[in-house]
Structure 1
Amino acid sequence: MVNFNGNLISSGAFFLNHENRGFKYGDALFETIRIINGKLLFWEDHYFRLMSSMRILRMEIPMEFTMEFLEEEFLKTLTANELMDKPVRARLTVYRNDGGKYTPSTNDCSFVIEMEELDVPFYTIDDTSYEVELFKDFYVNADMLSNLKTTNKVLHTVSSVFAKENGYQNCLLLNGAKQVVEGINGNIFLVSNQTIKTPPLKDGCLDGILRKKLLEIISKWDDFELEETSISPFELQKADELFITNTIIGVKPITKYRKKEFDTKVAKSLLGRLNALARLS
Protein backbone atom coordinates (compact mmCIF):
# COMPACT_ATOMS: atom_id res chain seq x y z
CA MET A 1 0.00 0.00 0.00
CA VAL A 2 1.15 3.55 -0.76
CA ASN A 3 -0.17 6.75 0.75
CA PHE A 4 -1.31 9.27 -1.87
CA ASN A 5 -2.41 12.57 -0.31
CA GLY A 6 -3.64 10.71 2.78
CA ASN A 7 -5.45 7.96 0.88
CA LEU A 8 -4.14 4.39 1.07
CA ILE A 9 -3.91 2.87 -2.40
CA SER A 10 -2.62 -0.44 -3.74
CA SER A 11 1.01 -0.12 -4.84
CA GLY A 12 -0.01 -1.44 -8.25
CA ALA A 13 -2.73 1.18 -8.80
CA PHE A 14 -2.35 3.97 -11.35
CA PHE A 15 -2.72 7.23 -9.45
CA LEU A 16 -0.15 9.42 -11.26
CA ASN A 17 -0.69 10.45 -14.87
CA HIS A 18 1.47 11.61 -17.76
CA GLU A 19 1.00 15.25 -16.69
CA ASN A 20 2.84 14.67 -13.40
CA ARG A 21 5.44 17.43 -13.02
CA GLY A 22 7.87 15.21 -11.16
CA PHE A 23 7.86 12.95 -14.24
CA LYS A 24 7.92 15.72 -16.85
CA TYR A 25 10.27 18.25 -15.25
CA GLY A 26 11.81 16.73 -12.13
CA ASP A 27 9.68 19.25 -10.23
CA ALA A 28 9.67 17.27 -6.99
CA LEU A 29 11.51 16.70 -3.72
CA PHE A 30 11.89 13.59 -1.62
CA GLU A 31 12.98 12.49 1.82
CA THR A 32 14.20 8.95 2.51
CA ILE A 33 13.73 8.02 6.15
CA ARG A 34 14.75 5.04 8.24
CA ILE A 35 12.01 3.86 10.59
CA ILE A 36 12.52 1.45 13.50
CA ASN A 37 9.48 0.00 15.30
CA GLY A 38 7.36 2.98 14.30
CA LYS A 39 10.03 5.55 15.22
CA LEU A 40 11.13 7.91 12.44
CA LEU A 41 14.86 8.45 12.90
CA PHE A 42 15.93 12.10 12.84
CA TRP A 43 12.40 13.05 11.74
CA GLU A 44 12.66 16.68 12.87
CA ASP A 45 15.75 17.19 10.69
CA HIS A 46 14.06 15.58 7.69
CA TYR A 47 10.95 17.68 8.18
CA PHE A 48 12.74 21.01 8.39
CA ARG A 49 14.93 20.16 5.41
CA LEU A 50 11.78 19.40 3.40
CA MET A 51 10.11 22.66 4.43
CA SER A 52 13.22 24.66 3.57
CA SER A 53 13.56 22.92 0.20
CA MET A 54 9.91 23.55 -0.67
CA ARG A 55 10.37 27.26 0.04
CA ILE A 56 13.50 27.40 -2.11
CA LEU A 57 11.59 25.77 -5.00
CA ARG A 58 8.66 28.15 -4.39
CA MET A 59 6.21 25.36 -3.72
CA GLU A 60 3.08 26.23 -1.75
CA ILE A 61 3.33 24.45 1.58
CA PRO A 62 -0.14 23.09 2.52
CA MET A 63 -1.49 24.34 5.84
CA GLU A 64 -1.86 20.77 7.09
CA PHE A 65 1.82 19.93 6.41
CA THR A 66 2.80 20.04 10.06
CA MET A 67 5.42 17.72 11.47
CA GLU A 68 2.70 15.90 13.42
CA PHE A 69 0.43 15.49 10.37
CA LEU A 70 3.12 13.96 8.17
CA GLU A 71 4.34 11.71 10.98
CA GLU A 72 0.81 10.39 11.38
CA GLU A 73 0.65 9.70 7.64
CA PHE A 74 3.85 7.65 7.92
CA LEU A 75 2.43 5.69 10.84
CA LYS A 76 -0.84 5.10 8.97
CA THR A 77 1.11 3.73 6.02
CA LEU A 78 3.23 1.53 8.29
CA THR A 79 0.09 0.04 9.82
CA ALA A 80 -1.52 -0.59 6.42
CA ASN A 81 1.60 -2.46 5.30
CA GLU A 82 1.94 -4.40 8.59
CA LEU A 83 5.38 -2.89 9.15
CA MET A 84 4.88 -1.15 12.49
CA ASP A 85 7.29 -3.48 14.32
CA LYS A 86 9.82 -3.79 11.48
CA PRO A 87 12.84 -1.80 10.25
CA VAL A 88 11.67 0.19 7.25
CA ARG A 89 12.97 2.37 4.43
CA ALA A 90 10.30 5.02 3.79
CA ARG A 91 10.21 7.62 1.04
CA LEU A 92 8.12 10.77 1.05
CA THR A 93 7.89 12.46 -2.36
CA VAL A 94 6.38 15.93 -2.68
CA TYR A 95 5.67 17.31 -6.15
CA ARG A 96 4.03 20.36 -7.65
CA ASN A 97 0.59 19.56 -9.02
CA ASP A 98 -0.12 19.01 -12.72
CA GLY A 99 -0.35 21.84 -15.17
CA GLY A 100 1.79 24.20 -17.20
CA LYS A 101 5.02 23.70 -19.04
CA TYR A 102 8.24 25.04 -17.48
CA THR A 103 6.06 27.66 -15.81
CA PRO A 104 3.66 25.75 -13.54
CA SER A 105 -0.04 26.64 -13.51
CA THR A 106 -0.12 26.15 -9.73
CA ASN A 107 2.30 25.97 -6.83
CA ASP A 108 0.03 23.60 -4.89
CA CYS A 109 1.57 20.24 -4.03
CA SER A 110 0.73 16.59 -3.51
CA PHE A 111 2.60 13.83 -1.69
CA VAL A 112 3.24 10.11 -1.91
CA ILE A 113 4.59 7.87 0.88
CA GLU A 114 6.00 4.44 0.02
CA MET A 115 7.78 1.85 2.16
CA GLU A 116 9.87 -1.30 2.08
CA GLU A 117 11.19 -3.54 4.83
CA LEU A 118 14.89 -3.46 5.74
CA ASP A 119 17.00 -6.40 6.91
CA VAL A 120 18.28 -4.93 10.19
CA PRO A 121 16.95 -2.28 12.57
CA PHE A 122 20.09 -0.27 13.29
CA TYR A 123 23.13 0.63 11.24
CA THR A 124 25.74 -2.05 10.59
CA ILE A 125 28.99 -2.32 8.64
CA ASP A 126 30.04 -5.41 6.72
CA ASP A 127 33.60 -6.11 5.61
CA THR A 128 32.87 -6.74 1.94
CA SER A 129 34.98 -5.07 -0.72
CA TYR A 130 33.71 -1.63 -1.75
CA GLU A 131 35.67 -0.10 -4.60
CA VAL A 132 35.01 3.34 -6.10
CA GLU A 133 36.22 5.40 -9.04
CA LEU A 134 35.86 9.03 -10.11
CA PHE A 135 33.03 9.78 -12.54
CA LYS A 136 34.29 12.43 -14.94
CA ASP A 137 31.77 12.43 -17.80
CA PHE A 138 29.49 15.05 -16.20
CA TYR A 139 29.76 17.34 -13.19
CA VAL A 140 27.72 18.50 -10.21
CA ASN A 141 26.79 22.19 -10.23
CA ALA A 142 28.28 23.99 -7.24
CA ASP A 143 25.07 25.79 -6.21
CA MET A 144 22.16 25.61 -3.79
CA LEU A 145 19.97 23.47 -6.05
CA SER A 146 22.54 20.68 -5.79
CA ASN A 147 22.16 20.80 -1.99
CA LEU A 148 18.47 19.87 -2.34
CA LYS A 149 17.11 16.32 -2.52
CA THR A 150 15.17 16.72 -5.75
CA THR A 151 14.03 13.97 -8.12
CA ASN A 152 16.32 15.37 -10.82
CA LYS A 153 19.00 12.68 -10.44
CA VAL A 154 20.11 12.01 -14.03
CA LEU A 155 23.78 12.53 -13.15
CA HIS A 156 23.53 10.02 -10.32
CA THR A 157 21.73 7.53 -12.56
CA VAL A 158 24.29 7.76 -15.38
CA SER A 159 27.18 7.44 -12.93
CA SER A 160 25.48 4.37 -11.39
CA VAL A 161 25.34 2.76 -14.82
CA PHE A 162 29.02 3.59 -15.34
CA ALA A 163 29.90 2.00 -11.99
CA LYS A 164 27.93 -1.16 -12.78
CA GLU A 165 29.44 -1.49 -16.25
CA ASN A 166 32.97 -1.19 -14.86
CA GLY A 167 32.63 -3.35 -11.76
CA TYR A 168 32.71 -0.56 -9.15
CA GLN A 169 30.40 -0.41 -6.14
CA ASN A 170 30.12 3.39 -6.30
CA CYS A 171 31.48 6.49 -7.98
CA LEU A 172 32.68 9.79 -6.58
CA LEU A 173 31.18 12.83 -8.28
CA LEU A 174 33.06 16.02 -9.11
CA ASN A 175 31.98 19.62 -9.56
CA GLY A 176 33.12 21.93 -12.35
CA ALA A 177 36.22 22.89 -10.38
CA LYS A 178 37.19 19.18 -10.32
CA GLN A 179 36.65 18.95 -6.56
CA VAL A 180 35.24 15.75 -5.04
CA VAL A 181 31.65 16.48 -4.04
CA GLU A 182 29.90 13.25 -2.95
CA GLY A 183 29.21 9.62 -3.75
CA ILE A 184 26.33 8.56 -5.98
CA ASN A 185 24.12 7.82 -2.98
CA GLY A 186 25.54 9.90 -0.15
CA ASN A 187 28.02 12.36 1.29
CA ILE A 188 31.75 11.64 1.33
CA PHE A 189 34.12 11.86 4.31
CA LEU A 190 37.92 11.59 4.26
CA VAL A 191 40.13 10.67 7.21
CA SER A 192 43.78 11.78 7.16
CA ASN A 193 45.84 11.42 10.34
CA GLN A 194 43.73 13.12 13.04
CA THR A 195 41.59 15.16 10.63
CA ILE A 196 38.19 14.24 9.18
CA LYS A 197 37.18 16.24 6.11
CA THR A 198 33.94 16.56 4.17
CA PRO A 199 33.12 18.95 1.30
CA PRO A 200 31.26 22.18 2.20
CA LEU A 201 27.75 22.77 0.85
CA LYS A 202 29.07 25.52 -1.42
CA ASP A 203 30.89 22.84 -3.45
CA GLY A 204 27.51 21.38 -4.45
CA CYS A 205 27.10 18.35 -2.18
CA LEU A 206 23.75 17.20 -0.86
CA ASP A 207 22.75 18.76 2.46
CA GLY A 208 22.44 15.27 3.92
CA ILE A 209 20.79 14.46 7.24
CA LEU A 210 23.45 11.88 8.13
CA ARG A 211 26.11 14.38 7.09
CA LYS A 212 24.64 16.82 9.60
CA LYS A 213 24.52 14.19 12.34
CA LEU A 214 28.11 13.09 11.76
CA LEU A 215 29.27 16.71 11.83
CA GLU A 216 27.65 16.97 15.26
CA ILE A 217 29.33 13.77 16.45
CA ILE A 218 32.79 14.53 15.06
CA SER A 219 32.79 18.12 16.39
CA LYS A 220 32.50 16.68 19.93
CA TRP A 221 35.13 13.98 19.35
CA ASP A 222 38.41 15.01 20.98
CA ASP A 223 40.46 12.54 18.92
CA PHE A 224 39.81 14.27 15.60
CA GLU A 225 39.66 17.72 14.07
CA LEU A 226 36.72 18.36 11.73
CA GLU A 227 37.11 20.35 8.51
CA GLU A 228 34.39 21.29 6.02
CA THR A 229 36.70 21.98 3.12
CA SER A 230 37.11 21.19 -0.56
CA ILE A 231 38.68 17.82 -1.37
CA SER A 232 40.82 17.35 -4.45
CA PRO A 233 41.08 13.98 -6.21
CA PHE A 234 44.80 13.96 -5.35
CA GLU A 235 43.95 13.68 -1.65
CA LEU A 236 42.01 10.45 -2.06
CA GLN A 237 44.99 8.12 -2.43
CA LYS A 238 46.75 9.79 0.48
CA ALA A 239 43.81 9.30 2.86
CA ASP A 240 43.71 6.75 5.68
CA GLU A 241 39.98 6.18 5.26
CA LEU A 242 37.11 7.17 3.00
CA PHE A 243 33.44 6.55 3.71
CA ILE A 244 30.03 7.43 2.34
CA THR A 245 27.00 8.28 4.48
CA ASN A 246 23.25 8.37 4.00
CA THR A 247 20.14 7.89 6.08
CA ILE A 248 19.58 4.27 5.08
CA ILE A 249 23.08 2.76 5.11
CA GLY A 250 24.49 4.96 7.86
CA VAL A 251 28.25 4.77 7.26
CA LYS A 252 29.68 2.76 4.34
CA PRO A 253 33.48 2.42 4.31
CA ILE A 254 35.27 2.56 0.95
CA THR A 255 37.86 -0.21 0.89
CA LYS A 256 39.62 0.59 -2.39
CA TYR A 257 40.21 3.48 -4.78
CA ARG A 258 42.55 2.69 -7.65
CA LYS A 259 45.64 1.10 -6.08
CA LYS A 260 44.97 2.35 -2.55
CA GLU A 261 43.27 0.16 0.05
CA PHE A 262 41.78 1.83 3.12
CA ASP A 263 41.31 1.10 6.79
CA THR A 264 37.81 1.13 8.34
CA LYS A 265 38.51 1.77 12.04
CA VAL A 266 37.20 5.35 12.21
CA ALA A 267 34.09 4.49 10.19
CA LYS A 268 33.25 1.63 12.58
CA SER A 269 33.79 3.83 15.62
CA LEU A 270 31.54 6.52 14.14
CA LEU A 271 28.86 3.95 13.41
CA GLY A 272 28.62 3.02 17.07
CA ARG A 273 28.26 6.68 18.02
CA LEU A 274 25.65 7.16 15.27
CA ASN A 275 23.55 4.24 16.53
CA ALA A 276 23.67 5.68 20.03
CA LEU A 277 22.45 9.02 18.69
CA ALA A 278 19.71 7.32 16.64
CA ARG A 279 18.34 5.63 19.75
CA LEU A 280 17.95 9.07 21.36
CA SER A 281 16.37 10.81 18.35
Structure 2
Amino acid sequence: MVNFNGSLVSNTESKLTLENRGYKYGDALFETLKVVNGKIFFWEDHYFRLMASMRILRMDIPMNFTMEFLEAEILKTVEANNLIDSSARVRLNIDRGEGGKYLPSEDAEINFNIVTEFHDNPFYTIAADTTYIVDLYKDYFMAPGLLSGVKSNNKAIQVIGSIYAKENDFDNCLILNTNKSVIEALNGNLFLVKGDKIKTPPLEDGCLKGVMRKQVLEILSKDVNLFVEEASISPFELQKADELFVTNVIKGIVPITRYRKKSYGNEFAQKVVTKLNAKLRLTS
Protein backbone atom coordinates (compact mmCIF):
# COMPACT_ATOMS: atom_id res chain seq x y z
CA MET A 1 0.00 0.00 0.00
CA VAL A 2 1.11 3.54 -0.85
CA ASN A 3 0.09 6.69 0.98
CA PHE A 4 -0.89 9.41 -1.51
CA ASN A 5 -1.90 12.68 0.17
CA GLY A 6 -3.22 10.77 3.18
CA SER A 7 -5.13 8.08 1.24
CA LEU A 8 -3.88 4.49 1.27
CA VAL A 9 -4.02 3.05 -2.23
CA SER A 10 -2.49 0.10 -4.04
CA ASN A 11 0.63 0.50 -6.16
CA THR A 12 -1.41 0.29 -9.35
CA GLU A 13 -3.71 3.10 -8.18
CA SER A 14 -0.91 5.46 -7.16
CA LYS A 15 0.39 6.49 -10.57
CA LEU A 16 1.47 10.11 -10.96
CA THR A 17 0.31 12.05 -14.01
CA LEU A 18 2.69 13.14 -16.76
CA GLU A 19 2.15 16.74 -15.61
CA ASN A 20 3.53 16.10 -12.13
CA ARG A 21 6.32 18.61 -11.51
CA GLY A 22 8.44 16.09 -9.65
CA TYR A 23 8.44 13.95 -12.78
CA LYS A 24 8.79 16.77 -15.32
CA TYR A 25 11.38 18.95 -13.60
CA GLY A 26 12.62 17.13 -10.54
CA ASP A 27 10.67 19.74 -8.57
CA ALA A 28 10.47 17.52 -5.51
CA LEU A 29 12.17 16.59 -2.25
CA PHE A 30 12.44 13.35 -0.32
CA GLU A 31 13.48 11.90 3.00
CA THR A 32 14.66 8.32 3.44
CA LEU A 33 13.65 7.08 6.89
CA LYS A 34 14.40 4.07 9.03
CA VAL A 35 11.44 2.89 11.10
CA VAL A 36 11.88 0.12 13.68
CA ASN A 37 8.98 -1.26 15.72
CA GLY A 38 6.91 1.84 15.06
CA LYS A 39 9.67 4.33 15.91
CA ILE A 40 11.07 6.66 13.27
CA PHE A 41 14.79 7.06 13.88
CA PHE A 42 15.80 10.74 14.26
CA TRP A 43 12.40 11.92 13.05
CA GLU A 44 12.78 15.46 14.39
CA ASP A 45 16.00 15.97 12.41
CA HIS A 46 14.41 14.59 9.25
CA TYR A 47 11.38 16.82 9.67
CA PHE A 48 13.30 20.06 10.18
CA ARG A 49 15.62 19.27 7.28
CA LEU A 50 12.57 18.71 5.08
CA MET A 51 10.96 21.99 6.15
CA ALA A 52 14.23 23.89 5.59
CA SER A 53 14.59 22.32 2.14
CA MET A 54 11.02 23.27 1.21
CA ARG A 55 11.80 26.87 2.14
CA ILE A 56 15.02 26.84 0.09
CA LEU A 57 13.01 25.64 -2.94
CA ARG A 58 10.32 28.26 -2.18
CA MET A 59 7.59 25.68 -1.73
CA ASP A 60 4.46 26.81 0.07
CA ILE A 61 4.36 24.60 3.15
CA PRO A 62 0.78 23.40 3.81
CA MET A 63 -0.58 24.35 7.22
CA ASN A 64 -1.22 20.69 8.10
CA PHE A 65 2.42 19.66 7.51
CA THR A 66 3.18 19.51 11.21
CA MET A 67 5.68 17.05 12.62
CA GLU A 68 2.83 15.14 14.28
CA PHE A 69 0.75 14.94 11.10
CA LEU A 70 3.53 13.58 8.88
CA GLU A 71 4.69 11.17 11.58
CA ALA A 72 1.16 9.77 11.86
CA GLU A 73 0.93 9.38 8.07
CA ILE A 74 4.27 7.56 7.94
CA LEU A 75 3.31 5.14 10.70
CA LYS A 76 -0.12 4.63 9.13
CA THR A 77 1.60 3.55 5.93
CA VAL A 78 4.06 1.30 7.75
CA GLU A 79 1.20 -0.41 9.58
CA ALA A 80 -0.83 -0.83 6.37
CA ASN A 81 2.12 -2.75 4.92
CA ASN A 82 2.41 -5.01 7.99
CA LEU A 83 5.79 -3.58 8.99
CA ILE A 84 4.87 -1.89 12.28
CA ASP A 85 6.50 -4.68 14.34
CA SER A 86 9.63 -4.98 12.22
CA SER A 87 12.21 -2.80 10.48
CA ALA A 88 11.25 -0.73 7.44
CA ARG A 89 12.83 1.61 4.95
CA VAL A 90 10.45 4.48 4.17
CA ARG A 91 10.58 7.17 1.52
CA LEU A 92 8.59 10.35 2.09
CA ASN A 93 8.33 12.30 -1.16
CA ILE A 94 7.13 15.91 -1.51
CA ASP A 95 6.40 17.49 -4.90
CA ARG A 96 4.94 20.79 -6.07
CA GLY A 97 1.97 19.22 -7.80
CA GLU A 98 1.03 19.98 -11.39
CA GLY A 99 1.02 22.96 -13.71
CA GLY A 100 3.35 25.51 -15.24
CA LYS A 101 6.66 25.27 -17.04
CA TYR A 102 9.80 26.17 -15.12
CA LEU A 103 7.61 28.70 -13.32
CA PRO A 104 4.98 26.77 -11.34
CA SER A 105 1.36 27.70 -11.94
CA GLU A 106 -0.28 29.65 -9.16
CA ASP A 107 -2.76 26.86 -8.46
CA ALA A 108 -0.12 24.10 -8.13
CA GLU A 109 -0.63 22.30 -4.81
CA ILE A 110 1.92 20.43 -2.74
CA ASN A 111 1.58 16.63 -2.83
CA PHE A 112 3.13 14.00 -0.61
CA ASN A 113 3.45 10.27 -1.02
CA ILE A 114 4.93 7.58 1.21
CA VAL A 115 6.25 4.18 0.19
CA THR A 116 7.69 1.47 2.41
CA GLU A 117 9.77 -1.68 2.10
CA PHE A 118 11.07 -4.27 4.53
CA HIS A 119 14.57 -3.69 5.92
CA ASP A 120 16.35 -6.64 7.50
CA ASN A 121 18.53 -4.96 10.14
CA PRO A 122 16.86 -3.01 12.96
CA PHE A 123 20.10 -1.73 14.50
CA TYR A 124 23.44 -0.62 13.13
CA THR A 125 26.23 -3.16 12.74
CA ILE A 126 29.61 -3.49 11.02
CA ALA A 127 30.56 -6.91 9.71
CA ALA A 128 34.22 -7.60 10.49
CA ASP A 129 35.01 -9.37 7.22
CA THR A 130 33.14 -7.11 4.78
CA THR A 131 35.12 -5.40 2.04
CA TYR A 132 34.08 -1.97 0.79
CA ILE A 133 36.11 -0.60 -2.10
CA VAL A 134 35.74 2.96 -3.38
CA ASP A 135 37.31 5.31 -5.89
CA LEU A 136 36.81 8.89 -6.99
CA TYR A 137 34.04 9.70 -9.44
CA LYS A 138 35.49 12.37 -11.73
CA ASP A 139 33.19 12.51 -14.76
CA TYR A 140 31.07 15.27 -13.22
CA PHE A 141 31.42 17.58 -10.23
CA MET A 142 29.06 19.12 -7.71
CA ALA A 143 28.86 22.90 -7.36
CA PRO A 144 29.72 24.00 -3.81
CA GLY A 145 26.89 25.68 -1.95
CA LEU A 146 23.86 24.92 0.19
CA LEU A 147 21.58 24.15 -2.77
CA SER A 148 23.71 21.08 -3.57
CA GLY A 149 23.04 19.84 -0.06
CA VAL A 150 19.25 19.81 -0.48
CA LYS A 151 17.83 16.28 -0.70
CA SER A 152 15.96 16.89 -3.94
CA ASN A 153 14.93 14.46 -6.67
CA ASN A 154 17.68 15.85 -8.91
CA LYS A 155 20.19 13.02 -8.40
CA ALA A 156 21.78 12.63 -11.84
CA ILE A 157 25.36 12.47 -10.50
CA GLN A 158 24.39 9.83 -7.93
CA VAL A 159 22.61 7.75 -10.60
CA ILE A 160 25.35 7.75 -13.23
CA GLY A 161 28.01 7.53 -10.52
CA SER A 162 26.36 4.37 -9.20
CA ILE A 163 26.35 2.90 -12.71
CA TYR A 164 30.05 3.79 -13.04
CA ALA A 165 30.80 2.12 -9.69
CA LYS A 166 29.02 -1.07 -10.73
CA GLU A 167 30.78 -1.18 -14.10
CA ASN A 168 34.17 -0.91 -12.35
CA ASP A 169 33.44 -3.29 -9.44
CA PHE A 170 33.47 -0.55 -6.80
CA ASP A 171 31.10 -0.62 -3.85
CA ASN A 172 30.80 3.16 -3.90
CA CYS A 173 32.43 6.31 -5.24
CA LEU A 174 33.44 9.58 -3.68
CA ILE A 175 32.16 12.79 -5.27
CA LEU A 176 34.24 15.92 -5.89
CA ASN A 177 33.03 19.49 -6.06
CA THR A 178 34.18 21.98 -8.70
CA ASN A 179 37.05 23.00 -6.39
CA LYS A 180 38.25 19.35 -6.56
CA SER A 181 37.54 18.76 -2.86
CA VAL A 182 36.04 15.44 -1.79
CA ILE A 183 32.57 16.18 -0.45
CA GLU A 184 30.75 12.88 0.12
CA ALA A 185 30.02 9.37 -1.15
CA LEU A 186 27.28 8.62 -3.66
CA ASN A 187 24.90 7.62 -0.87
CA GLY A 188 26.15 9.25 2.30
CA ASN A 189 28.47 11.65 4.07
CA LEU A 190 32.20 11.02 4.44
CA PHE A 191 34.33 11.02 7.60
CA LEU A 192 38.13 10.83 7.69
CA VAL A 193 40.08 9.60 10.72
CA LYS A 194 43.77 10.39 11.24
CA GLY A 195 44.98 9.70 14.76
CA ASP A 196 42.83 11.78 17.13
CA LYS A 197 41.70 14.10 14.32
CA ILE A 198 38.32 13.58 12.61
CA LYS A 199 37.29 15.52 9.52
CA THR A 200 34.11 15.73 7.52
CA PRO A 201 33.46 18.18 4.67
CA PRO A 202 31.51 21.34 5.54
CA LEU A 203 28.05 21.91 4.12
CA GLU A 204 29.38 24.90 2.16
CA ASP A 205 31.45 22.49 0.04
CA GLY A 206 28.21 21.03 -1.36
CA CYS A 207 27.71 17.88 0.70
CA LEU A 208 24.33 16.67 1.88
CA LYS A 209 23.11 17.93 5.24
CA GLY A 210 22.90 14.33 6.40
CA VAL A 211 20.83 13.31 9.40
CA MET A 212 23.32 10.57 10.33
CA ARG A 213 26.17 13.04 9.80
CA LYS A 214 24.61 15.20 12.50
CA GLN A 215 24.27 12.24 14.90
CA VAL A 216 27.91 11.23 14.44
CA LEU A 217 29.13 14.80 14.94
CA GLU A 218 27.13 15.03 18.17
CA ILE A 219 28.61 11.75 19.43
CA LEU A 220 32.17 12.79 18.54
CA SER A 221 31.79 16.23 20.12
CA LYS A 222 31.36 14.59 23.54
CA ASP A 223 34.83 12.99 23.42
CA VAL A 224 37.32 15.53 24.76
CA ASN A 225 40.22 13.45 23.43
CA LEU A 226 39.20 14.03 19.82
CA PHE A 227 39.73 17.01 17.56
CA VAL A 228 36.71 17.19 15.25
CA GLU A 229 36.44 19.67 12.40
CA GLU A 230 34.24 20.37 9.41
CA ALA A 231 36.84 21.19 6.79
CA SER A 232 37.51 20.55 3.12
CA ILE A 233 39.17 17.24 2.27
CA SER A 234 41.56 16.94 -0.65
CA PRO A 235 41.97 13.66 -2.55
CA PHE A 236 45.58 13.51 -1.34
CA GLU A 237 44.40 13.20 2.28
CA LEU A 238 42.46 10.01 1.59
CA GLN A 239 45.52 7.79 1.28
CA LYS A 240 47.05 9.27 4.43
CA ALA A 241 44.01 8.50 6.60
CA ASP A 242 43.81 5.73 9.20
CA GLU A 243 40.10 5.17 8.50
CA LEU A 244 37.42 6.41 6.15
CA PHE A 245 33.73 5.76 6.64
CA VAL A 246 30.42 6.66 5.03
CA THR A 247 27.29 7.53 7.02
CA ASN A 248 23.60 7.37 6.20
CA VAL A 249 20.42 6.69 8.17
CA ILE A 250 19.66 3.30 6.64
CA LYS A 251 23.07 1.62 7.05
CA GLY A 252 24.46 3.79 9.83
CA ILE A 253 28.23 3.66 9.40
CA VAL A 254 29.96 1.87 6.53
CA PRO A 255 33.77 1.65 6.83
CA ILE A 256 35.75 1.92 3.62
CA THR A 257 38.27 -0.92 3.47
CA ARG A 258 40.18 0.12 0.35
CA TYR A 259 40.75 3.21 -1.77
CA ARG A 260 43.15 2.57 -4.62
CA LYS A 261 46.25 0.97 -3.06
CA LYS A 262 45.45 1.99 0.53
CA SER A 263 43.66 -0.38 2.94
CA TYR A 264 41.88 0.80 6.09
CA GLY A 265 40.73 -0.67 9.37
CA ASN A 266 37.45 0.00 11.16
CA GLU A 267 38.34 0.13 14.86
CA PHE A 268 37.23 3.73 15.32
CA ALA A 269 34.07 3.21 13.28
CA GLN A 270 33.14 0.22 15.46
CA LYS A 271 33.35 2.41 18.57
CA VAL A 272 31.11 5.05 16.98
CA VAL A 273 28.52 2.40 16.03
CA THR A 274 28.44 1.17 19.64
CA LYS A 275 27.77 4.71 20.88
CA LEU A 276 25.17 5.26 18.16
CA ASN A 277 23.18 2.17 19.15
CA ALA A 278 23.44 3.18 22.81
CA LYS A 279 22.02 6.60 21.92
CA LEU A 280 19.09 4.96 20.13
CA ARG A 281 18.32 2.73 23.12
CA LEU A 282 18.34 5.72 25.44
CA THR A 283 15.91 7.66 23.26
CA SER A 284 13.55 4.77 22.44
| Counterpart position of 1:119 | 120
Q: CA–CA distance in 2 between the matches of 1:117 and 1:222?
A: 39
Deviations 1:24-52 (Å, cap 9, x if unpaired)?
11100001111110001100110011111
Deviations 1:74-132 (Å, cap 9, x if unpaired)?
11111111111011111100000100110010453100001111111111112311000
| Counterpart position of 2:157 | 155
Q: CA–CA distance in 2 between the matches of 1:64 and 1:211?
A: 28
Q: TM-score, normalized by length of structure 1?
A: 0.98
Of 22-31 and 103-112, deviating more is 103-112
- 3-state DSSP of counterpart to 2:13: coil
Q: CA–CA distance in 1 between the matches of 2:198 and 2:65?
A: 37
One-letter amino acid matched to 1:110: N
| Counterpart position of 1:24 | 24
| Counterpart position of 2:137 | 135
> Is the CA contact 1:25–1:102 (under 8 Å) kept in the aligned structure 2?
yes
> Is the CA contact 1:59–1:108 (under 8 Å) kept in the aligned structure 2?
no
Give the direction of change, closer, same or farther, for the CA distance of 1:86–1:135 in structure 2 (3 Å limit): same
5+ long unaligned stretches in structure 1: none
| Counterpart position of 1:83 | 83
One-letter amino acid matched to 1:196: I
Q: CA deviation at 1:14?
A: 4.1
How many residues matched? 281
> Is the CA contact 1:143–1:202 (under 8 Å) kept in the aligned structure 2?
yes
| Counterpart position of 1:95 | 95
One-letter amino acid matched to 2:112: F
- 3-state DSSP of counterpart to 2:83: coil
Q: CA deviation at 1:150?
A: 0.4
| Counterpart position of 1:73 | 73
| Counterpart position of 2:173 | 171
| Counterpart position of 1:38 | 38
Moved over 6 A (4+): none
2:251 to 232, 249, 252: 249
One-letter amino acid matched to 1:93: N
> Is the CA contact 1:3–1:77 (under 8 Å) kept in the aligned structure 2?
yes
One-letter amino acid matched to 1:118: H
Q: TM-score, normalized by length of structure 2?
A: 0.97
Matched, 1:217 2:219: yes
Q: CA–CA distance in 2 between the matches of 1:20 and 1:105?
A: 12
Deviations 1:129-164 (Å, cap 9, x if unpaired)?
100000001001101111110010001101101000
One-letter amino acid matched to 2:136: L
- 3-state DSSP of counterpart to 1:12: helix
One-letter amino acid matched to 1:26: G
Q: CA–CA distance in 2 between the matches of 1:184 and 1:108?
A: 31
Q: CA–CA distance in 2 between the matches of 1:8 and 1:183?
A: 34
> Is the CA contact 1:61–1:108 (under 8 Å) kept in the aligned structure 2?
no
> Is the CA contact 1:2–1:114 (under 8 Å) kept in the aligned structure 2?
yes
5+ long unaligned stretches in structure 2: none
Q: CA–CA distance in 2 between the matches of 1:155 and 1:93?
A: 19
CA RMSD of aligned residues (A): 0.9
- 3-state DSSP of counterpart to 2:229: strand
What percentage of aligned pairs have identical amino acids? Answer: 57
1:227 to 221, 224, 229: 229
- 3-state DSSP of counterpart to 2:11: coil
Q: CA–CA distance in 2 between the matches of 1:160 and 1:190?
A: 22
> Is the CA contact 1:141–1:175 (under 8 Å) kept in the aligned structure 2?
yes
> Is the CA contact 2:4–2:14 (under 8 Å) kept in the aligned structure 1?
no
